[in-house]
Amino acid sequence: MVDTQFPEQFNIASHFLDEPARRHPRRTAILGEPREVSYEELAQLASRVGNALLSERCERGDRVLIALPDSAEFIAAFFGAAKIGAVPTPVNSMARAANYEHYLGDCGPRIAIVHSSVVAEFLPALGKSPQTSVILAGDESAFTGSLKCQYWNDWVSASSARLTPAATTPFDPAALLYTSGSGGMPNGAIHQHKDMLVASRGFAQGVLGLSANDITFSVSKLFFAYGLGNGMYFPLSVGAQMLLNPERTTVARVAELVSIRRPTVFFAVPTFYGALLKEAKRNEEMYFSSVRLAVSAGETLPIEIYEKFRQRFGLKILDGIGSTEMLHIFLSSRPGAIRPGSCGAPTPGYDARIVDGDGHEVGDGVMGNLWVSGDSAFACYWNKPELTSRVKQGSWVATGDKFIRDADGYYFYCGRADDMLKVSGMWVSPIEIENVLLGHPLVAEAAAVGCTDAYGLTQAVAFIVLQPGLVGSAELANEIQEHVRIRLAPYKCPRELRFCAELPKTATGKVQRFRLRDNALR
């Protein structure tokens, strides 16, 4: 069981940075890139940021927007804000102007800490948020426009490396994290100081058995709740090392870092595991021999990808599911107890139930709505009380996901409730269709959505990305459809296949099926 007792006062910066820095100041916290950073250096940098924020009259509860690549600066900005009781708000550092306009208008930050690579997209949005002061990090010479700002290096070097943490309680706001936006504009979820402690104990330690001997590497970036745990507070919670990649993610660069830096725990999303397999066909020298655990979340892991990755690299991927609302993974497979196609069972400290439309629990083998509970659940959506009341049902959080639980207690993801198809009066999971499509050797990626025909009837339409070098044709479409027809009931078979160069995805790798649905209607 996970210890759910919390001290009267608790601050995440003190717990995850200051205390480890006192115990092992010289130990490497960040292995790279681009340089090593010790626990002591990281803790001192966070304190400098906290003091610099105080000099800007940043107060408890103020939002501090962070648009930085994965780096020591990101971590210091996050914990520096939390240390003074402000609310760090990390956002996508590769977003567009419209996204930044949404973030700024939604959370109204007091301070925005922005990387130089972001400025061109960030500036148009800033004009509508004059209350926000800007701190510019990165290449200070790269921008010569009229932006009124302070520069990171001057800003932090002028501040003290000593800072007493604010007397926050476990239930005070600690961070505002935005959802992935797979169904539209992201919502901001408020998390409390206790939540990272709960997630670390439940998943990092309770499932992964993370220790000080580990090196973590997360393909998912720190601005995303999944990456924030994988790449930041999970390794800090046990005194481990973290490998950060400040660059845009590419398969070749990730493979290179794995080879050079030799991480022991690797985190990615299903689409990236699929991309690794494609790259491995071209690069026979790709190895994951240092990795003891490979973890997947974000969307369900197709059985085909699980099996092919196991055959190629000798690793059995741990599939799980989490959400920004629950902070991290709440259902997960366990080492030595993996059932391919399943997300496993509730992680320590969490509970799950599958209910019908009236909130009544359904039996094993019956598809229903997944509700979860645990002490890392978000406090509320920022400025969205009605949405909060719909999603939070007492101590339970309605995930919006459709699931089935088998008689052995394994949970199987069927899709988002909004993505389910009702064909001929029967529910069809897009995941089931996609798994069959991925079983065809020429299919690299697939997504199935519902489309209403001229008679008002719903039919499945499948969008397919072929293996590299292949071109779609009517003959190939017929071949793939025949592959599906002999494996699925007729009403589940896609009425139409559409070939595309890529599937629309969020920055975190989730397929944006709502965009495919719009496309299917054209």
Q: Specify the CATH number for the domain of residue 142.
A: 3.40.50.980
- According to the model, what pLDDT value does residue 522 have? 59
Report the length, in residues, of the chain.
522
User: In a 10 Å sphere around its CB, with 0-12 CB exposed, 13-18 middle and 19+ buried, how is residue 128 labelled?
Assistant: exposed
- Is residue 365's pLDDT more than 70? yes
The answer to whether position 388 is within a domain reads no
User: How crowded is residue 308: how many other Cβ atoms within 10 Å of its Cβ?
Assistant: 17
Which of 356, 381, 416 is the endpoint of a domain? 416
Q: Are 393 and 373 in contact (CB under 8 A)?
A: no
Which of 416, 450, 472 is the endpoint of a domain? 416
CA atoms of 398 and 376, how far apart (whole Å): 14
- According to the model, what pLDDT value does residue 183 have? 55
pLDDT band at residue 2 under the 50/70/90 scheme? low
The beta strands (E) that lie in 269-349 are given as 293-296, 318-322, 329-332, 345-346
Residue 304 identity = E
Q: Are 115 and 224 members of one domain?
A: no
Total number of domains in the chain: 3
Which of 385, 416, 447 is the endpoint of a domain? 416
- According to the model, what pLDDT value does residue 142 have? 67
Mean pLDDT of 223-232: 96
Q: Are 182 and 294 members of one domain?
A: no
The answer to whether position 2 is within a domain reads no
The answer to whether position 7 is within a domain reads no
- According to the model, what pLDDT value does residue 382 have? 97
The answer to whether position 402 is within a domain reads yes
Tokens found for residue 462: 């499948």
Any idea what the CATH number is for the domain that residue 336 is in?
3.40.50.12780
Q: Are 366 and 457 members of one domain?
A: no
Q: Are 446 and 438 in contact (CB under 8 A)?
A: yes
The answer to whether position 207 is within a domain reads yes
The answer to whether position 156 is within a domain reads yes
Q: Are 118 and 210 members of one domain?
A: no
- Closest to 225 measured CA to CA, from 183, 271, 191, 184: 191
- According to the model, what pLDDT value does residue 1 have? 46
CA atoms of 256 and 260, how far apart (whole Å): 6
Q: Are 57 and 156 members of one domain?
A: yes
CA atoms of 152 and 363, how far apart (whole Å): 56
* H/E run at residue 282: helix 270-282
pLDDT band at residue 512 under the 50/70/90 scheme? confident
Tokens found for residue 215: 């090196």
The separation between CA 100 and the C-alpha centre of its own chain, rounded to angstroms, equals: 19
Residue 172 identity = D
Q: Are 211 and 265 members of one domain?
A: yes
Domain containing residue 267: 195-373+395-416
CA atoms of 258 and 260, how far apart (whole Å): 6
Q: Are 322 and 454 members of one domain?
A: no
